[in-house]
Amino acid sequence: MPKEFYDSFENMLFNLDNAAKKLGLEYDDYVSLRYPERELTVSIPVVMDNGHIEVFTGYRVQYSSSRGPCKGGLRYSTDVDINIVKTLAALMTLKSAVVNIPFGGAKGAICCDPSHLSREELKRITRRYTAMILPLIGPEKDIPAPDINTNDEVMGWIMDTYSMFKGYSVPGVVTGKPLEIGGTLGRQGATGRGVVYIINDIAPWLGFSLVNAKVSIQGFGKVGSILAQLLAHQGSKIIAICDISGGVYRESGLDIDDLINYVNNNPSKTIKGYKAPGVTEFPKEEIFYFTVDLFIPAAKENQINASIAKKLNTKIIAEAANGPTLVEADEILSSRSIIVIPDILLSAGGLVVSYFEWVQNIQSLMWDESEVNELLMRIMKRAFNEVWVIHQQRGVSLRTAAYMLAIDRVIKAKKIRGVFP
**Active-site amino acid positions:** 107
User: Do residues 213 and 236 touch, judged by C-beta distance below 8 A?
Assistant: yes
Q: How far is CA 68 from the centre of its chain?
A: 19
Question: What is the CB neighbour count within 10 angstroms for residue 186?
Answer: 22
Rg of the chain, C-alpha, whole Å: 21
Roughly how many angstroms between the first and final C-alpha of the chain, as a whole number? 37
Q: What is the DSSP string of 18-29?
A: HHHHHTT--HHH
Do residues 60 and 94 lie in contact, with contact meaning Cβ atoms separated by under 8 Å? no
Reply yes or no: is the peptide bond before residue 135 cis, omega within 30 of 0: no
As to burial, measured by CB atoms within 10 angstroms (0-12 exposed, 13-18 middle, 19+ buried), residue 204 is exposed
Tally of residues, the chain: 421
Residue 42's beta-bridge partner residues? 58
Q: Is 42 exposed, middle or buried (0-12, 13-18, 19+ CB in 10 A)?
A: middle
Which is nearest to 192 in space by CA: 394, 11, 412, 373?
373
* Rounded distance between C-alpha atoms, residue 40 and residue 54, angstroms: 20
Quote the CA–CA distance of 32 and 64 in Å, as a whole number. Answer: 9
Residue 335 one-letter amino acid: S
